[in-house]
Amino acid sequence: MSHGNVASARHAGQASNPREAALQGLAKMRAIASRGYPQAVLPPHERPHVPTLRALGFSGSDADVVARAASEAPSLLSAASSAAAMWTANAATVSPSADTADGRVHFTPANLASLLHRSIEAATTTRVLRAIFADPRRFVVHDPLPAAAQTGDEGAANHTRFAGPGERDPGVELFVHGRSAYDVDAAAPRRYPARQTRETCEAIARRHGLDPSRVVHAQQHPDAIDAGVFHNDVIAVGQGRTLLVHERAWTDTRHTVDTLASRIGDGFRADVVTEAELPLDVTVASYLFNSELLERSDGGILLVAAADVREHARASAVLDRWTSPGGPVAEALVLDLRQSMRNGGGPACLRLRVPLTHAEREAIRPRVFLDDVLADELDAWIRRHYRDRLLPADLADPQLVDESRRALDELTRLLALPSVYEFQRTAG
């Protein structure tokens, strides 16, 4: 369903294993939490999303709506059944309180306007974020930007927050766009669409109250988009004072790197991988850059990569170079995320980084932070409710509606969340 997502297209129509996908994501969270990095849960969305099907003209009982959609417009039923919200990097763009003018954490939920199946997510994501980050003294969850071609927003997949020059300085926020809505002369991809606009990035920076001197804008290289780099996090990853990037990530990668270096200051380190070392097609196939970077207590960098990286010799060689003595990465943690990867989402897609102070974390009331007890409860919940095999034809099964709603009702109680789903709100 995602034109430009090469991995998703390559696996279209194949059987998926939703249970394994959820368990692999939970295992990733456990592995990272065990190393001392706090992990929190953003709950999944209701699927199939019957309100979307009703808005598209299908009527009757919920079972009737699903049956009619399956018979008359299976592509629309597929869109309304998409589980793309598992990639929380697309949920929102986040600016920590250290960077914002009012000293609060700001969230802009992504409108994901470029694709029908993703545009469904914005309303639920906004309610979920407002339920979790409910204290108005510390958090601002904005409305999504207008859902229009000029303001298409794909969330944190095109945003990276680096450290500031000093320990107490505001950070430097990098926004990446694929096109400008009003610059008709700008370079543009020919094969696949550019999803994020510069106007979107500028609007988010304004509404978050960011200092313009600590904001950097870069444009995706059209050739990269046409190779399958639909989001920046497929070709670049950064954290703290470290940046790993392919030379063809941006239209002027060298200038962008130099600008970041001047804004971030001493200690900034960029490793620019050349096309000769790692061709664009291997970059996309391996998802090497779609990794997480985490700062260790000793100052070193931990890189969390998908096991698929090791299946591509040239990508694996780059990872070995990064982790060699003197390289930018102290340690690599390689995890099995095959179910997510088959739809084009690696470790970076499965996380939304939300920097919080101790006081901000204490202000969060829902039970979303992972510990051993919650992890075990989530594991059991997944095994009770998730199917272990799903084919396109199975989407016509009206029982999926009831299965999803029962599971989500139980999950909201488990996470101490209010009614965030439309079926719960409609039921009163």
One DSSP character per residue, 236-278 reads EEEEBTEEEEETTSBTTHHHHHHHHHHHH-TT-EEEEE-TTTS
Rounded to whole angstroms, the Cα distance separating 278 from 289 reads 11
CATH number of the CATH domain containing 231: 3.75.10.20
The answer to whether residue 428 is domain-embedded is no
The answer to whether residue 334 is domain-embedded is no
Q: Is the pLDDT higher at 3 or at 125?
A: 125
What percent of the chain stands above pLDDT 70? 97
Is residue 116 packed enough to be buried (19+ CB in 10 Å), middle (13-18) or exposed (0-12)? middle
Residue 237's domain spans which residues? 6-14+82-328+341-360
- Say if residues 263 and 214 touch (Cβ distance below 8 Å): yes
Question: Average pLDDT for residues 199-216, to the nearest whole number?
Answer: 98
- Say if residues 199 and 111 touch (Cβ distance below 8 Å): no
Question: Cβ–Cβ contacts within 10 Å for residue 334, how many?
Answer: 17
Contacts of 353 (CB under 8 A, 6+ apart): 94, 156, 161, 239
DSSP string over 163-222: --SSTTS--EEEEEESB-SS-TTS---SSS----BHHHHHHHHHHTTB-GGGEEEEEB-H
Rounded to whole angstroms, the Cα distance separating 306 from 339 reads 11
Q: Tell me the longest C-alpha to C-alpha distance in the chain.
A: 64
The answer to whether residue 43 is domain-embedded is no
Tell which phi-psi region holds residue 168, choosing left (phi > 0), alpha (psi between -120 and 50) or beta: alpha
The answer to whether residue 48 is domain-embedded is no
Catalytic position from the list 45, 117, 349, 360: 349
Catalytic position from the list 221, 231, 246, 312: 231
The answer to whether residue 66 is domain-embedded is no
Rounded to whole angstroms, the Cα distance separating 372 from 425 reads 31
> Is 231 a known active-site residue?
yes
Interhelix angle 399-414/372-385, nearest 10 degrees: 170
Question: Average pLDDT for residues 90-98, to the nearest whole number?
Answer: 98
How would you list the strands of the sheet with 159-162, edge to edge?
159-162, 172-177, 215-219
Number of domains composing the chain: 1
pLDDT, residue 344, reads: 79
| 10 pLDDT above the threshold of 90 | no
Three-class DSSP category at 12: coil
The closest alpha carbon to 365, from 420, 424, 425, 415, belongs to 415
Catalytic position from the list 46, 49, 142, 154: 154
- Say if residues 192 and 4 touch (Cβ distance below 8 Å): yes
How would you list the strands of the sheet with 242-246, edge to edge?
236-239, 242-246, 269-273
The answer to whether residue 218 is domain-embedded is yes
Question: Average pLDDT for residues 237-262, to the nearest whole number?
Answer: 97
pTM for this model (two decimals)? 0.95
The answer to whether residue 31 is domain-embedded is no
pLDDT, residue 7, reads: 57
Rounded to whole angstroms, the Cα distance separating 288 from 237 reads 9
pLDDT tens digits along 371-407: 999 999 999 999 999 999 999 999 999 999 999 999 9
pLDDT tens digits along 95-142: 999 999 999 999 999 999 988 999 999 999 999 999 999 999 999 999
pLDDT, residue 6, reads: 57
Look-up of token digits 């070392």: 277
The answer to whether residue 44 is domain-embedded is no
Look-up of token digits 């990095």: 37
For residue 188, give both structure tokens: 């543009």
pLDDT, residue 11, reads: 57
Indicate the average pLDDT of the chain: 94
pLDDT, residue 410, reads: 98
